[in-house]
């Protein structure tokens, strides 16, 4: 047995975890699971290949390098019983909570008896905030206060992960509606995922609406859009690369909702050089963008979606599932049209 395995959302918390435990191994998860396909029926390895291909295609890295990173990550996770303890370090937002339930789903395959045989302890640290913003001296008290993961947490994580990977968002809605003191931040995170469904008002997701609202008064830079949209989030989860991909989706379309002031469509940056120029370029709302934002046109009816939310593929001008922003619920448009 060798020391401790610390699993966390990325690299921002590494320095603090090192202060809390200087001998442990740190395993960053690094997958933006709220974007791109997370279909059911795939093994961990198969899903990692799908995820690596998506992230590479989205311009967030080289697919082959990401796939190797995920393969190494998965191999380490499979050998978790080689460690005295596995500590999960996660935050309260959607990005982290989806990673957490994926890891819990994997760990749920190991019975209490099996863990008892190896002597591996599995514990959880989950905070209402952001690990990367903490001072390093705040990590040791968190580590000391960690709690053993319970069978109930494993079961809820598995149920939530299965719901997220299904093609029916009502399953996610059902898990979120339960509320939970077991994984207290999960219901809010899952509700935020549902808010990415096209709204019944104009077909925009919450993120898309916030982007258009940010530029409704005048054209502004991407950096300013990022600040304004982040300020609207109760729990910030969306990174700059993901937000840039949203802007590209809203712009690179025959019914463009956003453009540069010159009228040119916007492509998300693919290189560091592109990124520097992109951050300072002005972004404006088009005439059709104003109409959709006002609810005079519907983004889905305009054919404005090709997106995966977990196991649900939103594709085409007719999308079955919508989010009712007034009543905070999933709407089945197929049932309502009968």
* Helix locations, the chain, DSSP H: 14-20, 44-57, 63-78, 94-107, 112-118, 139-144, 151-165, 169-178, 186-194, 206-214, 222-231, 240-251, 272-280, 287-293, 333-336
Q: Where are the domains of the chain?
A: 4-193, 200-304
Per-residue confidence at 61, pLDDT binned at 50, 70, 90?
A: confident
The 3-state DSSP composition of the chain as helix, strand, coil percent (nearest 5) reads 45, 15, 40
Give Cα 147 distance to the centre of its chain: 25
200-217 pLDDT, tens digit per residue, is: 999 999 999 999 999 999
| Beta strands at 121-127 and 147-148: parallel, antiparallel or unpaired | antiparallel
Predicted confidence at residue 255, as pLDDT, reads 93
Measured in degrees and rounded to the nearest 5, phi and psi for residue 256 equal -70, 135
- In the CATH scheme, what architecture does the domain 200-304 have? Orthogonal Bundle (1.10)
Beta strands 312-315 and 306-310 are antiparallel
* CA neighbor of 30 nearest in space, from 186, 172, 190, 241: 241
Which pLDDT score, from 0 to 100, does residue 318 have?
76
Structure tokens at 200: 């019944």
- Cβ neighbours of residue 128 under 8 Å, at least 6 residues apart? 92, 185
Task: Decide: 104 and 161 in contact? Cβ < 8 Å.
Answer: yes
CB atoms under 10 Å from CB of 262, counted, come to 7
d(CA 55, CA 44): 16
CATH class given for the domain over 4-193: alpha beta
Q: Model pTM?
A: 0.95
Q: What is the pLDDT of residues 75-97, one digit of tens each?
A: 999 999 999 999 999 999 999 99
Please say if the pLDDT value at position 336 is more than 70.
no
Q: How does the average pLDDT of the chain come out, rounded? A: 93
Condensed to tens digits (0 to 9), the pLDDT of residues 132-174 reads 999 999 999 999 999 999 999 999 999 999 999 999 999 999 9
């Amino acid at each position: 047995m060798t020391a401790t395995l610390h699993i966390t959302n990325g690299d921002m918390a590494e320095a603090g975890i090192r202060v809390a435990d200087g001998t442990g191994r740190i395993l960053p998860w690094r997958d933006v699971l709220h974007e791109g396909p997370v279909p059911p029926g795939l093994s961990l390895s198969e899903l990692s290949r799908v995820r690596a291909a998506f992230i590479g295609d989205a311009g967030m890295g080289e697919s082959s390098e990401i796939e190797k990173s995920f393969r190494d990550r998965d191999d380490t996770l499979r050998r978790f019983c080689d460690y005295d303890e596995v500590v999960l370090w996660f935050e309260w937002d959607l990005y982290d909570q989806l990673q957490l339930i994926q890891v819990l789903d994997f760990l749920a395959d190991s019975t209490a008896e099996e863990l008892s045989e190896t002597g591996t302890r599995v514990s959880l640290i989950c905070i209402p905030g952001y690990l990367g913003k903490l001072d390093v001296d705040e990590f040791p008290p968190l580590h000391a206060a960690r709690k053993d993961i319970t069978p109930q947490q494993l079961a809820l994580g598995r149920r939530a992960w299965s719901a997220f990977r299904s093609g029916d968002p009502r399953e996610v809605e059902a898990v979120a509606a339960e509320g939970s003191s077991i994984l207290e931040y999960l219901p809010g995170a899952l509700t935020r995922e549902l808010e990415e469904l096209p709204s019944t008002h104009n077909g925009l997701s919450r993120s898309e609406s916030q982007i258009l609202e940010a530029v409704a008064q005048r054209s502004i830079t991407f950096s300013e859009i990022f600040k304004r949209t982040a300020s609207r989030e109760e729990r910030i989860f969306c990174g700059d690369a993901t937000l840039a991909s949203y802007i590209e989706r809203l712009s690179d379309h025959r019914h463009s909702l956003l453009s540069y002031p010159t009228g040119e469509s916007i492509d998300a940056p693919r290189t560091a050089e592109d990124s520097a120029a992109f951050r300072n370029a002005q972004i404006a709302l088009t005439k059709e963008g104003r109409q959709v934002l006002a609810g005079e046109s519907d983004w889905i009816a305009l054919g404005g979606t090709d997106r995966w939310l977990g196991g649900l593929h939103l594709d085409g001008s007719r999308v079955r599932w919508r989010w009712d922003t007034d009543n905070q619920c999933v709407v089945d448009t197929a049932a309502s049209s009968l």
